[in-house]
Amino acid sequence: MDHGINTVPFVSVENMMRLVIELGMETALYELTEYIDEDFRRWPSFDKTPRVASHSTDGVIELMPTSDGIDYGFKYVNGHPKNMKDGLQTVTAFGLLADVNTGYPVLLTEMTILTALRTAATSALATKFLARKDSRTLALIGAGAQSEFQALALKTVCGIDRLRVFDIDPAASRKCIANLSQSGMEMKICSSGHEALEGADVVTTCTADKQYATILTDNMVGNGLHINAIGGDCPGKTELHKDILLRSEIFVEYPEQTRIEGEIQQLDAEHPVKELWEVITGRTTGRENDRQITLFDGVGFAVEDFSALRWLRDKLKTSSRYDLLDIIADPDDPRDLFGMIQREKLRMKNLD
């Protein structure tokens, strides 16, 4: 990446797709898991705040900022479950990385694809640390935009090689299986959540509904299961029956945000939870035995997006999959912003 300070590299959706294709989807997921792992290991060095959410009847628009004192990142992301029926994405995003020293942006990028990648990488990281080591079978409930990424990340990072998929819309399950046909996983479409859970070591719920849903009921969850619940990520939007939470050891990203948005919004504010970064750094225990039910109540946190932006910036050092955007007004004399416009006016006149 070689450019002046006035222009900012911008990764479009097309360039993001090409970059991921050139690198390989599984390599991208593996590398992102490593970047998130690295940042979770230096968790205290991040500036953290629950995301800033603007709720409306049909969805939410959120800003997710964080900084490690050297770089600053934020993501704009929406969540509109009803969008899918109108032919629109439930989740779309873009994000930015900036230099804390000058405040100047250094990278602007689409983040719809990057969010799917980093969400899957985060599930994989949680699964790696919390699931039973002999886990091989994943039940995937909800076969929408996130689903294939979730399955592939668990395959790549955790050695999951059997997949059981359930979606209320059979066409979504068929799409998921078809997209993963080259993955080498043994796959089955199931006709209910109950069936999908049969013999599963890990379950990932990634459904979209703006309500207190019960995608998993207590009788579906056997001892030893690891659950990644990623679709419950807003006030009033959950996926698990409360009884499951009461039987599980619960792990979260950032409690202050998860208590507002996660499955644990159903519990008392004092209910004990563990933080994933503390498991990764060995400050607290993860899974304690093979019968324990572990639950990663994943809502998506700004540090994961920061890791993804950092990863992308590093990729652009050897890839030309970006455009340069003229989004920083930078006159030769910093105080002469007005004069810069006047000089441009003259130039325009001379061109006429």
The pairing of strands 274-275 and 60-67 is unpaired
Rule CB under 6 A: say whether 142 interacts with ligand NAD: yes
Centre a 10 Å sphere on the Cβ of residue 163 and count the other Cβ atoms it contains: 27
Of residues 71, 233, 297, 305, which has the active-site annotation? 233
Distance CA 274, CA 115 (A): 24
Distance CA 90, CA 209 (A): 10
Give the shortest CB-106-to-ligand NAD separation in angstroms: 24
- Tokens standing for residue 334: 């910093």
Site string for ligand NAD, 193-212 (x = CB under 6 A): -------------xxxx---
Is 233 annotated as catalytic? yes
Q: Considering only 63-71, 124-132, 168-176, 194-202, which stretch makes contact with ligand NAD by CB under 6 A?
A: 168-176
Distance CA 61, CA 72 (A): 20
Q: Which of 140, 187, 197, 215 binds ligand NAD (CB under 6 A)?
A: 215
Distance CA 165, CA 295 (A): 19
Q: Considering only 50-58, 241-249, 282-290, 298-306, which stretch makes contact with ligand NAD by CB under 6 A?
A: 298-306
Distance CA 348, CA 341 (A): 10
* Total residues interacting with ligand NAD, rule: CB under 6 A: 30
Q: Closest CB to ligand NAD among 238 and 316?
A: 238
Q: Which helix (H) or strand (E) holds 78?
A: strand 71-79
Rule CB under 6 A: say whether 39 interacts with ligand NAD: no
Distance CA 260, CA 121 (A): 23
Give the shortest CB-206-to-ligand NAD separation in angstroms: 4
Q: Which residues are catalytic?
A: 233
Give me the residues that bind ligand NAD (CB under 6 A), please: 79, 84, 90-91, 115, 119, 141-147, 166-169, 172, 206-209, 213, 215, 230-231, 233, 298-300
